[in-house]
């Protein structure tokens, strides 16, 4: 646990140390953390962003090059904290947990469950083999990027061809999602024929910066949904955090809109709720579901229903998923038409959407 605040180290350390299978060591800044890496050989590192001598981003950069290890960032719920956290995820952090607003000592229990769950998930996370490969080769660590173009799932249904008519692509992801979304969306052309809706588990403070970051990288247009928005081809609609993203119909056509969280959907924005709302308005054959890295099972039930109703579904394969929880559950439910490594998902999607350039 790396944090310059003695109080934060004490409070968060007590939360983790109370777990019978956790052993916790501490560092006050990035330099101390790097000094301890070889001796302690941690399974997971929690890393504050703003620290003296060496901040969290500089430390993370060194960790990913010199001794790759799953890292969970400890971030503030601010615009600056969101931008820094997204940069940390790009550099290789597995996930992040947000500090409570106000006095940490008064609200620390609000983050306890999330901290424990995300550290446990990170301990099982798979770091991308291609991450910082050239830099690591220079440090004589080396690794090979994932290979393989994916495979179609064995199924009783006939081989799937491209859909017909207009439709929607529905994407769900959680832990490890922002880099996965970048890989997927940057490979799509500006003239992609169908609107794409994204449910990425994140607080509201983070989904806006994530959308702006992706918009600057992608040929498609990416925007956060903050009000009812008419769906258009070549556009990606990211659900606002702490709410759900649903599809509705207005006189002008289908719209994406933010909806207050609803009982029965524990993660937000909810992939299950997004898919169900789309299935209420369009035939299954006009929908494609994509379920990528993330802990838990959000999206698996609804996408399995979509698959069995005649829709098309793509699950990220275990070989590239940081956490194979959500896509793995879809595969276990026999709900995936294709199980595809992350770098090949865009090509698979382009082959399923009609008239895709």
Give the residue among 254, 152, 261 at the shortest CA–CA distance from 197: 254
- Which one is catalytic: 298, 307, 317, 337? 298
- Decide if 310 contacts 284 (C-beta within 8 A): yes
d(CA 308, CA 336): 9
- Phi and psi of 153, rounded to 5°? -70, 140
Residue with tokens 């424990």: 116
| Structural tokens at position 171 | 């994407």
d(CA 200, CA 43): 26
d(CA 74, CA 48): 5
d(CA 130, CA 115): 27
Based on its alpha-carbon atoms, the radius of gyration of the chain, rounded to whole angstroms, reads 20
- Which one is catalytic: 75, 95, 201, 268? 201
Taking the CA atoms of 272, 278, 282 and 285 in sequence, report the sign of the dihedral they define: negative
- Decide if 265 contacts 299 (C-beta within 8 A): no
Q: How far is the CA of 277 from the CAs of 59, 222, 284, 306, in angstroms? A: 43, 21, 12, 11
Based on the residue annotation, tell me whether 298 is a catalytic residue of this protein. Answer: yes
- Which one is catalytic: 174, 270, 277, 317? 174
Give the residue among 101, 112, 98 at the shortest CA–CA distance from 11: 112
Q: With 0-12 CB in 10 A as exposed, 13-18 as middle and 19+ as buried, what is 140?
A: exposed
Give the residue among 3, 7, 14, 226 at the shortest CA–CA distance from 112: 14
Instruction: Tell me the angle at which helices 204-217 and 177-185 cross, rounded to the nearest 10 degrees.
Output: 30
Bond preceding residue 317 cis, omega within 30 of 0:
no
Based on the residue annotation, tell me whether 235 is a catalytic residue of this protein. Answer: no
Based on the residue annotation, tell me whether 174 is a catalytic residue of this protein. Answer: yes
Residue numbers annotated as active site: 174, 201, 298
């Amino acid at each position: 646990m790396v944090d310059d605040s003695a109080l934060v180290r004490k409070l968060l350390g007590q939360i983790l140390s109370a777990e019978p299978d956790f052993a916790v060591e501490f560092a006050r800044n990035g330099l101390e953390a790097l000094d301890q890496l070889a001796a302690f050989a941690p399974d997971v590192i929690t890393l504050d962003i703003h620290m003296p001598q060496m901040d969290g981003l500089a430390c993370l950069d060194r960790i990913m090059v010199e001794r790759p290890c799953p890292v969970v960032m400890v971030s503030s719920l601010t615009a600056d904290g969101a931008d820094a956290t997204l940069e940390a995820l790009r550099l290789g952090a597995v996930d992040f947990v947000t500090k409570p607003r106000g006095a940490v000592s008064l609200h620390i229990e609000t983050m306890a469950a999330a901290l424990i769950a995300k550290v446990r998930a990170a301990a099982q996370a798979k770091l991308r083999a291609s991450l910082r490969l050239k830099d690591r080769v220079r440090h004589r660590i080396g690794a090979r990027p994932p290979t393989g173009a994916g495979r179609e799932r064995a199924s009783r249904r006939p081989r799937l061809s491209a859909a017909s008519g207009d439709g929607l692509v529905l994407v769900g992801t959680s832990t490890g999602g922002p880099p996965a979304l970048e890989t997927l969306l940057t490979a799509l052309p500006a003239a992609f024929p169908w609107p794409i809706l994204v449910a990425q588990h994140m607080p509201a403070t983070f989904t806006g910066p994530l959308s702006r970051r992706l918009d600057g990288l992608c040929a498609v247009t990416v925007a956060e949904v903050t009000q009812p928005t008419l769906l258009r081809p070549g556009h990606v609609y990211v659900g606002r955090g702490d709410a759900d993203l649903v599809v509705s119909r207005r006189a002008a056509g289908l719209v994406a809109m933010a909806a207050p969280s609803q009982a029965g959907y524990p993660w937000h924005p909810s992939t299950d709720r997004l898919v169900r709302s789309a299935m209420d308005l369009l035939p299954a054959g006009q929908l494609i579901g994509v379920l990528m890295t993330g802990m838990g099972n959000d999206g698996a039930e609804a996408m399995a229903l979509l698959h069995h109703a005649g829709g098309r579904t793509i699950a990220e394969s275990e070989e590239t998923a940081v956490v194979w929880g959500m896509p793995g559950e879809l595969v276990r439910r026999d709900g995936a038409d294709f199980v595809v490594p992350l770098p090949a998902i865009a090509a698979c999607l382009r082959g399923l959407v009609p008239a895709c350039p």
